[in-house]
Amino acid sequence: MRHEITLHVNGHEHRLQVESHHTLLDVLRRQLGLTGTKHGCDCGECGACSIWLNDRLVLSCLVLAAEADGAHVLTVEGLAASGEFAHLQEAFIEHHGMQCGFCTAGFLMAAAALLRENARPDAATIRAALAGNLCRCTGYHGILRAVQTASRMRR
């Protein structure tokens, strides 16, 4: 079944035709060309597709596009364009919080969601907030350091 929906993505409004089975991830990547959000497992187990939906961190592979009608979506492209978390992005570069980079968008969205709620999280809080994101390259050490550094730079 086909649905007509409206999505506000990274500040832009889109009117879209979607099928019932299309996920938000499908629509972002295929219809809007926002490929920064990654497809790692398709069942909510790797975190690579993490985005913000109405200011909440969600796994976009587990959200049906039709359910998101009217919603505000922020992806890594929007996060980068806004500049609001440039210090977090810089910290990921400085501390080698990425190697292959495939999981990076998901980590950034999750880390940004944490820092917005809690400007000075301790290490245990950072770990808990990022426990749903898998990275096979970095061993997480650079990611943890990056988020700690970003939290100190913030204020």
Partner 1 sequence: MNPVRKTQWLGRPFPRIEAGLKVAGGIRYLDDMAFGPDLVYAAIVHSTRPHARLVGVNTAPAQALEGVLAVLTGRDVPGRLGHALADRPILAHDRVRYVGEPVAVVAAVSPELAVAAAQRVKVTYEDLPGVFDSEKALRPDAPLLHPQVDEYERRAFVHPRAGTNLAHVCRARRGDMEAGWQAASTVLADTYRGAPIQHASMEPHGAVAQCHPDGTITLWASTQAPFVQQATIAQTLGLDPRRLHVRAAAVGGGFGGKSFVSIEALVVLLALALPGRPVKLVLQRAEEFTTTFVRPALLAHVRMGADRHGKLTALEAHYVWDAGASADALIELAWAAALAGTGPYAIPHVDLTSSVVYTNHTPAAPMRGNGMAEVHWAIEQHMDRMAAALGMDPMSFRLRNLIKGGDPVWDGQVMHATGLEQCLRQVAQAVRWQAAPGKPSSAGRRRGRGLAVMWSPVLRHMAISATAVVRLESSPAAEAIQPVVVEVGSPDTGQGFATLVVQLVSSLLGVPPEWVQLQPIDTARSSFSGPGLGGQLTWSQGNAIVRAVQDLRGRLLSAVAQAWDEPPGALDIVEGVIHSHASHRSLSLRQLVQEGVRLADGSVLRPELRGEGRFEPTAPDEAGDEQALGVVHFSTGAQAVEVEVDLETGTIDVLHIASAFDVGHALNPDLVVAQIKGGAMQALSATLFEQVRRADGIPLNVRLSDYHLATILDLPPTIEAVVVEVPQGDGPFGARGVSDHAGVGLAPAIANAVAQATGVRITAMPITPEHVWRALQT
Residues of the shown chain interacting with partner 1 in the complex, contacts defined by CB under 8 A: 21, 29, 33-43, 45-46, 48, 75-77, 80, 89, 92-94, 96, 98-105, 108, 126-128, 130-144
Of the candidates 94, 90, 103, the one whose C-alpha atom is nearest the C-alpha of residue 137 is 103
- Compare residues 72 and 87 and give the one whose CB is closer to partner 1: 87
CB atoms near residue 117 (< 10 Å): 11
- Compare residues 63 and 144 and give the one whose CB is closer to partner 1: 144
Q: How far is the CB of 130 from partner 1 (least distance, A)?
A: 5
Of the candidates 64, 47, 65, the one whose C-alpha atom is nearest the C-alpha of residue 113 is 47
Six-digit token pair at 12?
Answer: 């832009």
Q: How far is the CB of 136 from partner 1 (least distance, A)?
A: 5
Q: How far is the CB of 21 from partner 1 (least distance, A)?
A: 7
